[in-house]
A and B are shown apart, each in its own frame.
Chain A
Amino acid sequence: MKGYGRALAVIVLASALLPSASAAQDLPEIYLYANDFVGVLTYDEISTLDEICYQLDQVTSDEVAIVIVNTTLPMGIDTFAVELFRESGIGKEDLDNGVLLLVSTEEEMWRIEVGYGLEGILNDAKVGTIGRENLEPYLAVQDYYPGIFYTVAALVEELTADPDRINEDGYDIEFLRIDYWQLALAVAVFLVVGVATKGRAFFWLGGILTRGRFGGGRSGGGGAKGRF
Chain B
Amino acid sequence: MKLSKPLLALIIAIVAVVIVLALIIVTYNGLVDAEQQVESQWAQVENEYQRKIDLIPNLVNITSEYTQFEASTLANITALRMEWLNALTSEERLNTSIALDGEINTIVLAYYSAENYPILSSIPLVADLMDEVAGTENRIAVERMYYNEYVRDYNSKIKRVPGVLFAGMFGFEEKRYYDPIPGEA
Contacts and interface: CB of A to CB of B under 8 A. Distances in A.
A224 B112 CA distance: 12
Contacts of A78: 138, 141
B120 to A, nearest CB: 11
Q: Interface size for chain A: under 10, 10 to 19, 20 to 34, or 35 or more residues?
A: 10 to 19
Interface stretch (A88-96, A125-133, A142-150, A177-185): A125-133
Interface in B83-124: 112, 114, 117, 121, 124
B117 A129 contact: no
B138 A128 contact: no
A132 B134 contact: no
B131 A221 contact: no
A128 B114 contact: no
Interface residues of B, number: 23
A223 B137 CA distance: 11
Contact of B142 (A125, A132, A220): A220
B57 interface: no
A129 B128 contact: yes
B127 interface: yes
Contacts of A132: 121, 127
A84 to B, nearest CB: 13
Contacts of B157: none
B139 A226 contact: no
A128 B117 contact: no
Interface string A5-36: 00000000000000000000000000000000
Contacts of A128: 127-128, 130-131
Interface in A125-172: 125, 127-129, 132
Contact of B132 (A125, A220, A225): A125
Interface in B60-84: none
A34 B140 CA distance: 28
B117 to A, nearest CB: 5
A50 interface: no
A188 B134 CA distance: 47
Nearest to B145: A82
B138 A125 contact: no
A227 interface: yes
B46 interface: no
B143 interface: yes
A124 B117 contact: no
Given A124-B134, A132-B121, A226-B117, A82 B142 contact: yes
A129 B134 contact: no
Interface of A: 78-79, 82, 123-125, 127-129, 132, 219-227
Given A82-B142, A129-B131, A224-B134, 10 more contacts: A78-B138, A123-B132, A127-B131, A220-B139, A220-B142, A221-B142, A223-B135, A224-B135, A226-B117, A227-B112
Interface of B: 44, 112, 114, 117, 121, 124, 127-132, 134-136, 138-143, 145-146
